[in-house]
């Protein structure tokens, strides 16, 4: 199987770029953030404190999380319930960042990610794909952009959905999540030694897609 690992901070465009590249290359796109989001969503829905390791550990022993692919589209089922449509809120974003610090959560989701890469040619995006999940990936990319640019993209996305948002609040959240994801002890966000750093601050979406598609072509 062929694997492309795409890591980077939130809002760098990993998911949308990966999706487009996967489509063009005939690969399956796996968004691993959705797994952390689903676990966080389940905790929030059941009044479980996402920072309480013991409570979260107990919760993990009581749930199953499955990643399924339907016509190439990824869905995440928690205890059989498809939560995919419910995990894209700002609340869940921050809770996912909090819960992902807990080592037992990371260990719990590791197998699912690796098994998927065993079964399909994947473009897998996350924070620790090249460093931990798929250290033997064929292509390793670290996709990033300035915090201001990432907040601006998120701001426009939310405005387009008619959500009431404040740019400064989004920027604050982006910076806070960056810090949490980068400074945590287990599997922090960082490029692997072999990762190609792609900074999209000054790149359009199409340019980012072309750049990465070319990197993959070179190694195929
Ligand atoms: O990519 P995302 O914004 O959907 O991810 C949500 C959170 O999940 C992110 O703040 C950190 C965590 N995460 C992680 O720790 N490791 C991954 N491979 C993917 C996401």
Q: Where are the alpha helices (DSSP H) in 67-139?
A: 90-99, 103-119
**Which ligand 1 atom sits nearest the alpha carbon of residue 93?**
6
What is the structure's pLDDT at 164?
Answer: 87
Angle, CA 112 vertex, CA 117 and CA 195 arms, to 5° = 50
Domain 3-201 CATH superfamily: P-loop containing nucleotide triphosphate hydrolases (3.40.50.300)
Q: Is the pTM of this model over 0.85?
A: yes
- Strand 73-78 relative to strand 65-70, pairing: antiparallel
What's the 126 CA to ligand 1 centre distance in angstroms? 6
What's the 127 CA to ligand 1 centre distance in angstroms? 6
pLDDT category of residue 186 using cuts at 50, 70 and 90? very high
What is the structure's pLDDT at 71?
Answer: 86
Q: What percentage of residues in the chain have a pLDDT greater than 70?
A: 100
pLDDT tens track for 74-119: 999 999 999 999 999 889 999 999 999 999 999 999 999 999 999 9
């Amino acid at each position: 199987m062929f694997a492309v690992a795409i890591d980077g901070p939130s809002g760098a465009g990993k998911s949308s770029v990966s999706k487009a590249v996967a489509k063009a290359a005939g690969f399956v796109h796996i968004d691993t953030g959705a797994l952390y989001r689903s676990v966080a969503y389940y905790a929030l829905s059941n009044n479980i404190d996402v920072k309480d390791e013991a409570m979260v550990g107990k919760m993990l022993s009581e749930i199953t999380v499955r990643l399924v692919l339907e016509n190439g589209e990824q869905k995440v089922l928690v205890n059989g319930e498809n939560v995919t449509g419910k995990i894209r809120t700002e609340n869940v974003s921050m809770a996912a960042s909090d819960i992902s610090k807990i080592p037992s959560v990371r260990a719990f989701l590791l197998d699912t990610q690796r098994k998927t890469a065993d079964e399909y040619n994947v473009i897998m995006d996350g924070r620790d794909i090249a460093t931990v999940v798929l250290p033997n990936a064929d292509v390793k990319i670290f996709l990033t952009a300035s915090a201001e640019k990432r907040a601006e993209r998120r701001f426009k996305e939310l405005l387009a959905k008619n959500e009431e948002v404040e740019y400064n609040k989004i920027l604050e959240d982006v910076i806070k999540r960056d810090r949490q994801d980068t400074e945590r002890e287990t599997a922090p966000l960082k490029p692997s030694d072999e990762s190609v750093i792609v900074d999209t601050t000054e790149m359009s979406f199409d340019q980012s897609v072309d750049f990465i598609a070319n990197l993959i072509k070179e190694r195929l």
